[in-house]
Chains A and B, each alone.
Chain A
Amino acid sequence: MNGNAPTGEPLFGLREMELNFGPQHPATHGVMRLKLKVDGERIVDCYPIIGYLHRGTEKLFELHPFFQNVPHTDRLDYVAAATNNLAYVGAVEKLVGLVVPPRARYIRVILAELQRISSHLVWLATHAIDIGAMTPFFYCFRERELILDLFEQYCGARLTLNSMRPGGQPYDLPQGWVERCGEFIAEFPAKVDEYEDLLTENRIWKRRTVGIGVLPPETAIAYGVTGPMLRGSGVDWDLRKALPYEAYGEVEFDVPVFHNCDTYDRYLVRIEEMRQSARIIRQCLDRLPDGPIMAKRPRVLKAAAATEAYHAVEGPKGELGFYIVGDGSTNPYRCHVRPTSFMNLQALPEMSRGALISDLVALIGTVDIVLGEIDR
């Protein structure tokens, strides 16, 4: 149980200070505890302790039929609910063998990309405020309000969306939604330029993020890190391009990859991803096909016995996967979540050895954890 092995004999009998960072702390983005061994300000070791938000979600999944579990998936990565919905219903459709109609696929892509923008806005807001710049927080949340309004008009809720069902979509787009979404997308790149004006060339920001938290690509792959953390380390892997799902095979977009493996590059990756998401949404809105929004499916969904399916999507934080085992009944026998932030968090102790406490805060921000996903 001794995860915090000391890194060598202490000099002159001096002991390192053990500092408890969290679980109640303004910067840990949720209830996470980091046991730090610090030598003055330098971190000698970092041992994350999680489980403060464990709610037994995977057990809850086993107790209810497939479509009733969709609201529970909202609450995993509560900042990116549509992505969780997408991964789950994709896994159920793979398990049961449903084919989603094209209009529903496009609507799902629009929702997922809007959710990606919203999650990255939250990431930028909290990362900036942890590093000390207070104002991007308010500007980002101003844009996020518009996205949440769009969600509210579509499915009735802003954060815990419950917006997808196995087989398609529960509702069609309301009147005028496509126009409103188009207006938002038209103005959004100018807002991203504003955030970049404030931060990207700012010498203080660069000093805080360039060269901090270097994660070499081999280490990243070894830990199973995915998403912007991986692409900031130079590995060109994005599930939307590598294993396209929903309508991603039919739209054009670029995947930003930067090669310096530090916090600044991950920041650039996410900023560029926001712009690319706007591009994807524009194409989907233009090409939205008509047609049904729900597949032909039995009223009661049953999975055949001894079947399993794994479906992963590229969420804002990385690869989010659902592994479902069916046992012939309406409930899943086992539903396991491959949580993005849990895998990404493994890289944190490695990145933080030798860093200062101020850097630790920047690193937690760049890993972009959401405790709901880590603890389930």
Chain B
Amino acid sequence: MSWAWLDSLRETIGQPQFTLLFAPAAKFLVAIVVILLIIAYLVFVERRLLGFLQVRLGPNRVGPWGLLQPIADILKLLIKEDTIPNRAVRWAYLLAPCLVVAPAFVIFSVVPFGPSPNAPGAPRWYVTDLDAAIIFVVALASLGIYGIILGGWSSNNKFSLLGGLRSAAQMVSYEVPQGLALVGPLMLAGSMSLVGIVESQAQRGLWFAVPQIVAFFIYFVAGVAETNRNPFDLPEAESELVAGFHTEYSGVRFALFFLGEYANMIVISAIAVTVFLGGWLRPFPSIEALAFLDLIPGAVWFFLKVFAFLFLFIWFRGTFPRFRFDQLMALGWKWLIPLALANLMVTGLLVVLLNGRT
């Protein structure tokens, strides 16, 4: 038995080209798997938590405490009949779910999950560190809109059409305050790379949510609107449009839309945590007395903060009525954009005036 192939494999892995090409791909795969698991159990946690908010128990029959429920749901969706409406526009109908899911996952390639040790060649907690990561994130988030519009229009259903159009208008309008809100921390950090922003927060010893509280609020509200979640969930308002743009989808395609929505939720939370809440930093990084909290690894802090945001998403869903469409647009254009611009001006002014001290 010759083990020569194993030796040659070891040799191949050791070469620098491998680290350059294959290591990021492997990390990306790991990130996707982790995120998929989180999404599956996020659906379960949402149903349970919504139940608890609504004075009832959520699903708790399948497996101990209902923990196998996501697996049952996935299996069910996989074996469902794949229907395509009679006069649907086929290529758009088939493409739409993919356009919603893919950008959400790709964004995770620039998010730093944990602290990066300074030694070169050591494994990093991010897939890649782009210099213009923020622009990359905002650009990819915009791609998700195409999926929704195509899905709503191609279904040959008036309700879906209305849902798709509403969603398109909503998402396009809320992209602007979202982007503007992100510029504030950019100015404070002086770098567009997400890793750089977290490093800058570590340097100051202050989460950017403190000086940029208005931008934080705007980003979060715009984020809730971007993901079509309550109180901005008109596009999929069950009581008005049956299921909005994904009325006609069933089985795996519906699962993909669903997956895309929850992936977007996690993306918004992850970016909010990275830019405003210090990423993998502990709370109050400047206070030495709390240095013992550093025992908890940075990645754990990151995920704890992301889960806190997801809890907020679910809490909002359980509490608020939804905005009507024109009120939603009015909120975005008449309130959030001027507020974001004002925040931008004030931040810019302060950065210039205190340029020695910041």
Binding site for B on A (CB under 8 A): 17, 19, 25-27, 41, 128-135, 137-139, 142, 198-199, 202, 204-205, 207-208, 356-359, 361
Going nearest first, the 8 A-B pairs with the smallest beta carbon separation are A132-B322, A138-B54, A133-B321, A132-B321, A27-B239, A130-B239, A358-B324, A131-B321
Tell me how far the C-beta of A143 lies from the nearest C-beta in chain B, rounded to whole angstroms: 11
In the complex the two chains form, what is the Cα distance from A75 to B308 in whole Å? 48
Residue of B nearest to A128 (CB): B321
Contact B323 A204 (CB under 8 A): yes
For A134, the chain B residues whose CB sits under 8 A away are 50, 54, 317-318
Asked if A132 and B239 make an inter-chain contact with CB atoms under 8 angstroms apart, the answer reads yes
B230 proximal to A (CB < 8 A): yes
**Per DSSP, are chain B's interface residues mostly helix, strand or loop, or mixed?**
helix
Question: CB-CB < 8 A to A129: which residues of B?
Answer: 239
With a cutoff of 8 Å between Cβ atoms, the chain A residues found around residue B240 in the complex are 27, 130, 357-358, 361
Instruction: Please name all residues of chain A whose beta carbon is closer than 8 Å to the beta carbon of B325 when the two chains form the complex.
Output: 41, 356, 358
B75 beta carbon closer than 8 Å to chain A = no
- The answer to whether B162 touches A202 (Cβ under 8 A) is no
Query: Please, which residues of chain B bring their CB within 8 A of the CB of A19?
Result: 158-159
* Given A17-B158, A132-B233, A359-B324, residue A142 in contact with residue B55 (CB < 8 A): yes
Contacts of B54 in A (CB 8 A): 134-135, 137-139
Knowing A207-B324, A361-B239 are in contact, say whether A135-B318 is a contact too (CB < 8 A).
yes
Which residue of B has the minimal Cβ distance to A17? B158
Other than A131-B239, A356-B324, give 13 A-B pairs with Cβ distance below 8 A.
A41-B166, A130-B240, A132-B230, A132-B233, A132-B237, A135-B53, A199-B321, A202-B321, A204-B322, A208-B323, A358-B240, A359-B324, A361-B240
A33 nearest CB across to chain B (Å): 15
> How far apart are A148's CB and chain B's nearest CB, in angstroms?
17
* Interface SS majority for chain A: helix
223-243 of chain B: CB within 8 A of chain A: 230-231, 233-234, 237-242
Q: A17-B158, A132-B231, A361-B239 are in contact. Are A356 and B326 (CB under 8 A)?
A: yes
Minimum C-beta distance from B160 to chain A (A): 12
Q: Which partner residue on chain A sits nearest B327 by CB separation? A: A207
B 267-319 contacts with A by CB, 8 A: 317-319
Chain B contacts for A131, CB-based, 8 A: 239, 321-322
Q: Verify if B56 is at the interface (C-beta below 8 Å from A).
A: yes
Contact status A207-B323, CB under 8 Å? yes
B320 on interface, CB distance cutoff 8 Å: yes
Please, how many angstroms separate the alpha-carbon atoms of A357 and B239 in the complex? 11
A27 vs B158: C-alpha distance when bound (angstroms): 17
Q: If A132-B233, A204-B322 touch, does A138 touch B239 (CB 8 Å cutoff)?
A: no
Give 19 pairs: A residue, B residue, CB < 8 Å, sorted on A: A17-B158, A26-B238, A27-B239, A27-B240, A128-B321, A132-B239, A133-B322, A134-B317, A134-B318, A138-B54, A139-B54, A199-B321, A202-B320, A205-B321, A207-B324, A208-B321, A356-B325, A357-B162, A358-B237
Chain B, range 189-237, C-beta contacts under 8 Å to A: 230-231, 233-234, 237
Interface residues in B49-67 by Cβ distance below 8 A to A read 50, 53-56
Chain B CB within 10 Å, residue with most, of A139, A198, A357: A357
The smallest beta-carbon distance between B215 and chain A, in angstroms, is 22
Cβ contact within 8 Å between B319 and A133:
yes
In the bound complex, how far is the Cα of B326 from the Cα of A204, in angstroms?
Answer: 13
- The interface residues of chain A lying within 8 Å CB-to-CB of B238 are 26
Q: A142-B55, A204-B231, A358-B237 are in contact. Are A132 and B320 (CB under 8 A)?
A: yes
B336 to chain A, nearest CB (A): 15
Task: List A contacts of B319 (CB < 8 A).
Answer: 133, 135, 198
- A41, A129, A132, A361 interface centre (most CB from chain B within 10 Å): A132
What CA separation (Å) do A207 and B158 show in the bound complex?
26
Interface centre among A129, A134, A135, A137 (most CB of B within 10 A): A134
